[in-house]
Structure 1
Amino acid sequence: MDVIVLGGGLMGTAATFFLARRGLKVTLIERNRVGSGATIASFGNIRRTNRHLTQLPLAHRSRAIWGEAERLLGRDVEFRATGHLRLVFEEDALDDMRAYAQAARPWGLELAELGGNELRARFPGLGPGAIGASFSPHDGSGNPRLIAPAFAAAAAALGATIVEEAAVSAIERTPAGFRVTTAKGVFESDRLLNTAGAWGARIAARFGEPVPLSPRGPQMGVTEPLPHRILPVVGIWSREHGMDGYFRQVERGNIVFGGAAERVEVDLDPGHARADPARLPGQLKALVRLLPALADVSIIRTWSGCEGYMADMLPVMGVSSTTPGLFHAFGFSGSGFQVGPGVGDTMAELIATGGTEIPLHDFRIERFQNIGIKG
């Protein structure tokens, strides 16, 4: 076996697909079911707006893959390039939006600025008090329930082995590479890719690379169906705490929403994150500012999931600093859905060729070498 991939979320399944596409023999090991962790808890946002600037090359690569996903994977993963709209209500937030747009332009991201009147003319019913907005027309959304299984199935069709419900009990470095002992047997490979999400820090620590990661759960929800009128994903520019709500309307009419609620701490054993109905009123207060029609709808479901948040909100991505043949891609701090396919492609390129054109310097794991970490 050339590579073992640990973790069957979007990044792990995408990496498995792109590794298999490059002709490598790959086994993906997932402790539960493919796509059942942070991926399925995702909002489904495919946005580059307000992403850390050094992540933009990765985000651009990933956006190109999203556009080709149906052709690559042989199934519709409900990617829709409906645009990403972020509303502005305060002058300081308008300054922030303009500063980001200017800073992002050299990195290849063009954001259109809409005035309040243009916003209401193009997107009636949204943010009646907004003074402006940014608009990224080529971004949009995808279906978190479909994308990881689609990558896994396409990888299997290329010869990859997908092992689900296989909790890992031991990971060892051997003279030949790595040995992974699971509930479904022992697997060996030359190289090991850690895409275990919130559990990724535990794997890194086994190899002397502790990192400051906190497992947390966001709160997501979905409403009853409404008339389908809103095409873009909608968010906000704001410095006001607790107002960072966002939503999108699916083609069936339901409004999927998130944000505007503190992410709760999650115990990795067993790793279950639960939504708290008591936090819904605060969420809806923030969302009604963006879409007043939400004041009179019923919420039919809420959910959460276990995500890994880094202390500096930047992921760990690249080669191990201690162990040859070990690679990491985890800790995307609640914003990994859009970049997931690009992460998989970039890690496959790095593992197969020894290099990548995507700059990974800011994401290297050794940036934490001199930080004391408890636990």
Structure 2
Amino acid sequence: MKVIVLGGGLMGTAAAFFLAKRGLRPTLIERNRVGTGATVASFGNIRRTGRYLPQLPLAHRARALWGEAERLLGRDVEFRATGHIRLIFDEGSLADMRAFAEAARPWGLDLDELAPNEIHARFPGLGPGAIAASFSPEDGSGNPRLIAPAFAAAARALGAEIVEEAGAAQIERTGSGFRVVTAGGAYEADIVLNAAGAWGRQIAAQFGEPVPLESRGPQMGVTEPLPHRVLPVVGVWSRDPAWGGYLRQVERGNIVFGGAAVRTEVALDPGHAKADPARLPGQIRALARLLPALADVAVIRTWSGCEGYVEDDLPIMGASATTPGLFHAFGFCGHGFQLGPGVGDAMAELIATGGCATPLEDFRIDRFASAA
């Protein structure tokens, strides 16, 4: 069975790899270069804390695959299970964390609650004003610049065809399947998987499946190297998005950061937002509450990208409700990096077998039509 995967980000490349592992013949078509869309704009966070609870089975599936990534792909994608800490600075946020922790436990996620003395003993320099924190020891981070190319290369080694710089693709329904026409040629297949990120809405609309999705760009940055060593990924529990920053320190010492800034709208052509320098001081103020050492360092680069945000902040995953043979996996709302390997594996299972061991019902594309 031939499958065309539209989109060469983490979701699409992972799907191509797992489809090829299942013996199918995928052709991945990417409008630019593999991994240059939402994936490369990602922070690299591999966290399960704070997720929509019915999304946790998919997150657990993905976390297990992150742990196997180097063996599966034959290269280091810099997955590090350093833990994920979220600092808390007020009683309301502490109540939110405790409520989530209690609700998440039956879903298989156990969070440790840390008191101030434990935070300072285990992670010196973090959150001196924090009244508590949650800690997920098995989570961590990966390198967004490495993971999609690694999945693409491993998929190619299993027989997948990887087509880059294809430009905008035209999709046609044929009697037996689909025909996808690109600037470099035409491709036919029995199945199409729409993993086109923010562009996925346009593809779904062609088949009568409108999705309330907006394209937005995050504001990311990286500092000069710091000698201070921050091991876990650091975030915050806060009801105020202006304080919602996050950071991690890479092995070279640089601090990668994001959040605490409004995401900008992005036009899909050319499909890349620009970071706004005027928002950087506010970001640094929020991040310095998590790591005071950031107040006196130089930011050496900022960037943005293009992510798809669905109205209800949940992704689109599963079979088309209108077109046999069409499947969707897009709109991960800035929360998809951790999920990526699990999404690829789950979609490959669904396409190959007609079913999926991981529940995907909450992510079906027709949920908006049924609510109308």
User: TM class by shorter-chain length?
Assistant: over 0.9
Distance 1:233 1:241 in 2: 18
Listed as ranges, the matches of 1:352-371 within 5 Å are: 352-369=352-369
The 3-state SS of whatever aligns with 2:243 is coil
Identify the residue that residue 167 of structure 1 maps to in structure 2.
167
Distance 2:335 2:143 in 1: 15
Identify the residue that residue 185 of structure 2 maps to in structure 1.
185
Question: How many residues are aligned here?
Answer: 372
Letter in 2 for 1:196: A
Q: Is the 8 A contact 2:43 2:144 kept in 1?
A: yes
Listed as ranges, the matches of 1:1-375 within 5 Å are: 2-369=2-369
> What is the CA distance between 1:26 and its match in structure 2?
0.7
Distance 1:270 1:88 in 2: 39
The 3-state SS of whatever aligns with 2:332 is coil
The 3-state SS of whatever aligns with 1:40 is helix
Q: Is the 8 A contact 1:4 1:28 kept in 2?
A: yes
- TM-score, normalised to structure 2, is 0.99
> What is the CA distance between 1:272 and its match in structure 2?
1.6
Distance 1:340 1:272 in 2: 21
Q: Is the 8 A contact 1:168 1:180 kept in 2?
A: no
Q: Deviations over 1:325-361 (max 9, x none)?
A: 0000000000000000000000000000000011111
Please say which of residues 163-172 and 207-216 is displaced more in the overlay: 163-172
Q: Is the 8 A contact 1:228 1:252 kept in 2?
A: no
Q: Is the 8 A contact 1:321 1:365 kept in 2?
A: yes
Distance 2:156 2:96 in 1: 45
Question: What is the RMSD of the two structures over their aligned residues, measured on CA atoms?
Answer: 0.9
> What is the CA distance between 1:126 and its match in structure 2?
0.5
Distance 2:178 2:27 in 1: 12
> What is the CA distance between 1:371 and its match in structure 2?
6.5
The 3-state SS of whatever aligns with 2:317 is strand
Distance 1:304 1:170 in 2: 27
The 3-state SS of whatever aligns with 1:327 is strand
> What is the CA distance between 1:228 and its match in structure 2?
4.5
Letter in 2 for 1:312: D
Distance 1:67 1:250 in 2: 18
Distance 1:54 1:2 in 2: 31
Unaligned runs of 5+ in 2: none
Q: Is the 8 A contact 2:31 2:169 kept in 1?
A: no
Distance 2:231 2:250 in 1: 8
- TM-score, normalised to structure 1, is 0.98
The 3-state SS of whatever aligns with 2:270 is coil
Distance 1:370 1:54 in 2: 19
Unaligned runs of 5+ in 1: none
The 3-state SS of whatever aligns with 1:176 is coil
